[in-house]
Amino acid sequence: MKRVLCLVSAALLSVPAFAADPLPALGADAAHISVSGLSSGAFMAVQYQVAYSASVIGAGIVAGGPYYCAAGQLANAALCMGQQAPAPDPAPMLAAARGFAAGRRIDALSNLVRQRVYVFSGTQDTVVRQKAVDATVAFYRLAGLPAANIAYVHTVPAGHAFITPAFGNACAANAAPYVSQCRVDGQGYDQAGALLQQIHGHLKPPAATLSGRIVAFDQRAFAAASSGMAAEGYLYVPAACRGGGCSIHVALHGCQQSAAKVGDDVYAHAGYNRWADSNAMLVLYPQVESSLLPFNPQGCWDWFAYTGPGYATRQAPQMKAIRAMVERLGQAR
């Protein structure tokens, strides 16, 4: 019996693992990127926006703190999440960014002035509290963004979540899958639409029926397992984008919110795809997974240096991976 079990085990181990397809080249516009995220994904969205500001047109920050808030120290995470006093001070964070820019480790900060940002903090969020998100808005103002370029939504009684008109938890929830439905002025709040329109300006109404499809793709072509990134990522491709010329939006999940944890609740139901479908926009959903090496048990994006001290610069493995994915989408078919 033991011999049979060994043979079966050997047979199972010999079955090849089938990787997802490569990320397709779709002739997209990789010079005008927008990015958004929740929680650790919001911290990462700020990092990507600042580090690659020459090619980013704007960002949507849902329950996230300012650039380089943790300064490479996990011990600073509670402060940056607003869990302890005092509130984060964005001045030294901007000074750090200026130093990185002077050393050409990130793009010139002058690029930020032309960008448009959407920032959201729910009044019932007990994970990343409002004073931390206030500091994000202060960071942008210190960086020179005009007041008209910043939309700060901070009166909705929402918990820690992406907000949709009609999918997910009750509005005030602070629980998995961290997608919740809220009503504002008697209507379901469409956060994906609000942030995309803040960044891109007036858009066509969201599609009632999706024309495209969600594809899984191989992330190992862009990031080793040691980066903390998962083996697969996801991409929404509207029918209109199969011929090239589409813009790209990068949507970043939060901690404990990868597809491995919550299935398709983010990449299929957070609301981005309906807006992308009617506005010729690809939506890229990179994925980070829980891991012990690197030590990232909650499956968070790196905003506190678990991949190394350069985590907030263009040299960081996760940052480089996302940029390489964007560049791949921009290549000719």
CA–CA gap between residue 276 and residue 165 (Å, rounded): 16
Q: In this structure, is residue 160 part of a structural domain? A: yes
Asked whether residue 145 is assigned to any structural domain, the reply reads yes
Per-residue pLDDT, 333:
83
Beta-strand ranges (E) seen in the chain are 33-38, 56-62, 116-120, 150-153, 162-164, 179-181, 183-184, 187-188, 213-218, 232-237, 247-252, 281-285
- Catalytic-residue membership of 121: no
Residue 14 in any domain: the answer is no
Q: What are phi and psi of 237, to 5 degrees?
A: -120, 100
Strands 232-237 and 247-252: unpaired
Active site residue 39: yes
Write down the pLDDT at residue 127. Answer: 98
Contact (CB, 8 A) for 178 and 162: yes
Could you give the CA distance from residue 135 to residue 64 in angstroms, rounded to a whole number? 9
Domain span including residue 84: 20-330
For the question of residue 277 being annotated catalytic, the response is no
Considering its fold, how many domains does the chain have in total? 1
> pTM for this structure?
0.94
> Could you tell me if 31 and 100 are in contact, meaning their C-beta atoms sit under 8 angstroms apart?
no
Residue 150 has which token pair? 């910043």
Residue 174 placed within a domain = yes
Per-residue pLDDT of the chain (333 residues; tens, 9 = 90+): 333 333 323 332 333 345 689 999 999 999 889 999 999 999 999 999 999 999 999 999 999 999 999 999 999 999 999 999 999 999 999 999 999 999 999 999 999 999 999 999 999 999 999 999 999 999 999 999 999 999 999 999 999 999 999 999 999 999 999 999 999 999 999 999 999 999 999 999 999 999 999 999 999 999 999 999 999 999 999 999 998 999 999 999 999 999 999 999 999 999 999 999 999 999 999 999 999 989 999 999 999 999 999 999 999 999 999 999 999 999 998
Of 107, 121, 134, 160, catalytic: 160
Which pLDDT belongs to residue 113? 97
153 within some domain: yes
Find the catalytic residue in 39, 53, 227, 258: 39
Show the tokens assigned to 65.
């703190």
Domain assignment present for residue 5? The answer is no
The SS3 assignment for 122 reads: coil
Query: Residues 125, 134, 190, 265: which is the catalytic one?
Result: 125
Q: Please state whether beta strands 232-237 and 213-218 pair in parallel, antiparallel, or not at all (unpaired).
A: antiparallel
CA distance 69 to 315: 18
Asked whether residue 12 is assigned to any structural domain, the reply reads no
What is the pLDDT at residue 216?
98
Any domain includes 299: yes
